[in-house]
Amino acid sequence: MEELYTLEKEVGRGSYGVVFEGHMAKTGQKVAIKRLPCNNPECIELYLQELWAMRATAKNHVNVIALHSCLLQTGPRSLRNLKAGKLPLRLVESVLKGCVVGATQSQESNNPQSNTQGRTKTVSRLQDRTNTVQARAKSQDRTKSNARDSNSTTPQRLQSRSRKRRAESESEQPRPPRCLALWLVMEYCDGGDLNQFLLSRPPDAQQNHDVVLQLCRAVAFLHSLGITHRDLKPDNVLVSVTPEGPVVKVADFGLSKMIEGVGDVSRQHFSSTCGSDFYMAPEVWGGLTYSAQADIFSLGVMFWAVLERITFVEEGTTQEQLGAYVCKGRSGWLMPLGEALWENGDLPLCIPMKFKRAPPLPPPPGPAMCTLLLDMLSSDPDTRPNADQLEASVHSALTQDSH
């Protein structure tokens, strides 16, 4: 690793991996290096999805995080670059088999996440097949050995040599190296995530408008490639500070889905429930099939929170986050918008919110922007604007409200 990159310090840690600040050894350019340990097939599947999506976006859009390279770790100090367009076959095999290929029994027993019922059945079928083959091979070996015994004057020495040669040939066959981790080398964003960047500064209406427009461009670009992000939230938007102003970059494609060869991304349908509670669309909450329009709902929650500086602290955490919600009951219990709209599709949303906002307060969005937010947060995904229409709609609404 040190021949290519230098690790400086840890800058982030999640449930799937660790992110380090680092530098390119030759140029000194600062980079973010994400280590993804390949210790169970469920995580590996997410890593491959993230790698595939990031390779598709590459360095083609300023508002999507750029992937510089990907390295595969096969030993404590053994790393190799993965060629563009190629996926590690052993990792793909791990996902298909439901168990980590090349892992020892002790390693698998220490990893309860990989011991699923489906994996056990797959392994038992493979073992049954292997045992049958081995039994046939032993029977054939005995028959051949008996034939040699009757025709040879020195059966014991020949048999011993045969076993020795067979053992030597087996030991000489190199075992394919096990995949220990994937390392993704990405561009470094010095402004932190969107929560950290916006909440550490006084509200700036023009800056908020720029952030919203940049997010429109990023999601339109992703959808044009057939990529549905499925986990849009401020934590997954990074900020690069430049002399011209902040540049936001959509990141973290672990839950994304990419389907090639489909013209209209809104016609791609998914069924697995995934995402983060406060940004999930009603149809995802309800367990229905959904399309890329779920991303538009997530953007609506983010836009509302950014424009009004609405924050909350999720249960079990201490970090303040940007996000809109519905207040339930006298105690002010916070309910995600998607969950509330799933329970009642006709629930009126009060935009602007006018309360529970983090001071100092920015000016509330104008009537045209409020109407657009309501369209983005519609309980009916078919009435939400498409990503390719969104930037023009936001720009038009902001222009109307400025007059």
Query: Annotated active-site positions, please?
Result: 231
Contact 310, 294 (CB under 8 A): no
Contact 97, 119 (CB under 8 A): yes
Q: For residue 73, give the H/E element and its range.
A: strand 67-75
Tokens of 212: 């919203």
Tokens of 361: 């307060």
What gap in Å lies between CA 381 and CA 403, rounded to an integer? Answer: 30
Angle at 115 between CA 109 and CA 116, to 5 degrees: 170
Q: Position of tokens 């210790």? A: 39
What gap in Å lies between CA 120 and CA 47, rounded to an integer? Answer: 23
Tokens of 287: 């367990």
Closest CA to 338 of 302, 367, 372, 368: 302
Tokens of 51: 């790698």
What gap in Å lies between CA 341 and CA 349, rounded to an integer? Answer: 9
Name the amino acid, one letter, at 167: A
Name the amino acid, one letter, at 63: N
